Chain A
């Protein structure tokens, strides 16, 4: 018990919050869920034996709970995976006990908004137990030890359940279930949680293991960078190949900005990647990219889906949401489908597609391990040149993704929502503006400080994608007509982007780039 208290103390210190970005996300979403719950004044949420959640509460509450649980699980796994933990008697057991206690506290705290709305306690706990089982399985050490098919099946099931419970309809079924069903789900969820956390991972950083990981990572990076650098010199670039026609397997080609490559690169001794030839025809079609985005300066994080890839993933989201909505509707009405209700629920589709697309746009700012290496070896010239190369590519990515999202989502929103078709161009413009603007939000902290912590960038990225984009798209297709000032607000994204596109590259060149380890444990 003494050891558990010792481990538990960490959760009350900044140590718990450092490098644990999901917690920030959880805080944000939980705040929204609490706000909705405590500003709700409905007399009852029970309708025909079904507990109905207030509009949009379920998604925020679920995301907040999931993020909080993942944050605690992250703290647990990162503590116990170190060889130091194995070498310290009692530490793993203590961390285990502490994680269980904190998870219990999180579960009880996040039950409050649902209890405030009048949901039965046992059912709330059942719902949370499912979330627990999904959230604590986020560690990759355990699954890595499993056979590949089992690992894939497990990942698939976790993903499907996670998405399914983002739907209020799914949560409402659990919250309305008879007590014995809730008790059963609670028992299963808790058992899975305990089993998952009891798993004793082999230390990730085995002696030499780290070096192996770093070597493989750096080899991979080196290979890509050499390809990137080579691609920047027309004389040594493979001519007429798939890459020239836009079929890019990994997108690992550098952008053509000033400076000169190292002699080794210029010698032209590097052979073109065989990866360019790899993949089936469909895969190549999915990976097809416009010429302006075929050579991202940061290969790992700036690879952007091409139009076919974007369309395919959006259609998958659309179909998946449709199937889920139909299933939930059928459950709720005993097989009688109400298309009007399904259509209304499908408004989630444009929101989700825009949100997911926007979220990936600034992720390159969070992974900076490659930057010093690229700056030195890939011939970008000065830091300013490299920063400009990054932001030029960012602008192209943002414009292309936002344009595709606007083209795809605005008609969807109008079809499922309350807007008129005459407002299609305006809606497309608003989506485009919000998405491009949101993609520049994570660059904002660069203007004010020389040392930008990844956590701050992460929060601004979430603010852009989950708050601005999701809220913007939700408001756009709401049943109520938008006031003019709100239309204006949606279009603020464009001037903001223009200003940021001008200021951010200089700011990025000025700030410190932390030399982060290639393989974090």
Chain B
């Protein structure tokens, strides 16, 4: 039996901009149906990574494969399986909403399945000029354009920053619902970590062009802990980063260690992604 084709495989990716190495030997693989959060401080290389994996930027070294095809020679069939939501929708201000939707749809095969939930969610006036849309409305249009043709891999770069709370809440509810329903893989970059905590089953934290933590939600909840003091060597855990309160973040925690820590007077806390992210991105 042949191995399933992975939606995304990045191996040893390097991208440099004149004097700065934005991505440094970056490796990431996403399996079908995974919803992964891409986190990192400003300048960590998230946007560069997204630019490379969509083929907008050419990598200096390494390889990116989307559904088994090299990103530099994607067939239209594979390209049609990818949806991208940028930070802001730019260009096409000379179109009306309906005109742009119709125009771009014209490049899809007639039998391309559609998902109308996004059009309903966006509630945009088809006669409105794109030029006259607010930032949030433009972003809703960008989401509709990326998702309505049922992509199998969705890449979202800060998709909700300009959405109002209601639209953001609804989008964050619809996105995992859609992904689970269609088995779509999602890579979402956002600074609103509380949103991601609720929908992602994997967290990839970047810093200076490299991954500093790549854990699944299950591992995060089961094996990552905040300790009020340094762990004992015999516990066999790995210190991830110092915490702001003088404690440390560790990985490799086992349920049996709770009592040992208690005996040593070390307080153990379940992680929350935001404080872990703050510790790792310092």
Interface residues of A (CB under 8 A from B): 3, 6, 10, 13, 15, 18-20, 78, 81-84, 86-91, 94, 202-208, 210-211, 520-521
* Cross-chain contact B94 with A78 (CB below 8 angstroms): yes
**CA gap between A13 and B47 in the complex, in Å:** 36
18 additional A-B residue pairs with CB within 8 Å, beyond A15-B94, A208-B47, A211-B87: A6-B103, A6-B107, A19-B94, A78-B91, A78-B94, A82-B90, A83-B56, A84-B89, A84-B104, A87-B54, A89-B107, A90-B76, A91-B107, A203-B56, A204-B91, A206-B56, A207-B47, A211-B88
Chain-A contact segment, one of B77-85, B172-180, B245-253: B77-85
**CA gap between A88 and B88 in the complex, in Å:** 17
Distance to closest chain A CB from B111 (angstroms): 14
10 A-B pairs with CB atoms under 8 Å apart are A3-B106, A3-B107, A6-B106, A19-B131, A84-B89, A202-B56, A205-B90, A207-B54, A207-B87, A210-B87
Distance to closest chain B CB from A6 (angstroms): 4
Distance to closest chain B CB from A102 (angstroms): 16
Q: Is B242 an interface residue (CB 8 A)?
A: no
Interchain CB contact (< 8 A) of A86 among B55, B76, B93, B106: B55
Q: Is B267 an interface residue (CB 8 A)?
A: no
| Chain B hits for A94, CB < 8 A | 107
* Cross-chain contact B87 with A89 (CB below 8 angstroms): no
Q: Considering residues A10, A13, A88, A521, which has the most beta carbons from chain B within 10 angstroms of its beta carbon?
A: A88
* Cross-chain contact B54 with A84 (CB below 8 angstroms): no
Q: Is B137 an interface residue (CB 8 A)?
A: no
* Cross-chain contact B94 with A20 (CB below 8 angstroms): yes
Q: Is B41 an interface residue (CB 8 A)?
A: no
The residue in chain A whose Cβ has the minimal distance to the Cβ of B106 is A6
Distance to closest chain A CB from B65 (angstroms): 18
Known A89-B80, A208-B51: A83·B107 in contact at CB below 8 Å:
no
* Cross-chain contact B91 with A15 (CB below 8 angstroms): no
Within 8 A of A (CB), among B15-74: 47-48, 50-51, 54-57
The residue in chain A whose Cβ has the minimal distance to the Cβ of B135 is A517
Bits for B83-125, please: 1 = Cβ < 8 Å to A, else 0.
Answer: 0101111111111000100011011000000000000000000
**CA gap between A81 and B106 in the complex, in Å:** 18
Within 8 A of A (CB), among B134-163: 145-146, 157
Size class of B's contact patch? 20 to 34
**CA gap between A357 and B217 in the complex, in Å:** 66
| Chain B hits for A205, CB < 8 A | 86, 90-91
| Chain A hits for B95, CB < 8 A | 15, 18
Interchain CB contact (< 8 A) of B51 among A78, A89, A206, A521: A206
Interchain CB contact (< 8 A) of A82 among B51, B91, B106: B91
**CA gap between A207 and B158 in the complex, in Å:** 10
Known A83-B56, A83-B86, A84-B145: A90·B107 in contact at CB below 8 Å:
yes
Interchain CB contact (< 8 A) of A210 among B90, B99, B107: B90
* Cross-chain contact A207 with B56 (CB below 8 angstroms): yes
| Chain B hits for A204, CB < 8 A | 90-91
* Cross-chain contact A19 with B80 (CB below 8 angstroms): no
5 shortest A-B CB distances, which residue pairs?
Answer: A89-B76, A208-B47, A205-B90, A18-B94, A82-B91
| Chain A hits for B82, CB < 8 A | 87
| Chain B hits for A86, CB < 8 A | 54-56
**CA gap between A3 and B51 in the complex, in Å:** 26
**CA gap between A520 and B89 in the complex, in Å:** 11
Q: Considering residues A13, A81, A203, which has the most beta carbons from chain B within 10 angstroms of its beta carbon?
A: A203
The residue in chain A whose Cβ has the minimal distance to the Cβ of B82 is A87
* Cross-chain contact A10 with B145 (CB below 8 angstroms): no
Known A3-B107, A206-B51: A521·B91 in contact at CB below 8 Å:
yes
The residue in chain B whose Cβ has the minimal distance to the Cβ of A87 is B84
Distance to closest chain B CB from A95 (angstroms): 10
**CA gap between A186 and B118 in the complex, in Å:** 50
**CA gap between A205 and B88 in the complex, in Å:** 9
* Cross-chain contact A84 with B94 (CB below 8 angstroms): no
| Chain A hits for B57, CB < 8 A | 202, 206
The residue in chain A whose Cβ has the minimal distance to the Cβ of B80 is A89
Distance to closest chain B CB from A28 (angstroms): 20
Interchain CB contact (< 8 A) of B107 among A15, A88, A521: A88
| Chain B hits for A82, CB < 8 A | 90-92
| Chain A hits for B79, CB < 8 A | 87, 89
Known A88-B107, A89-B79: A521·B54 in contact at CB below 8 Å:
no
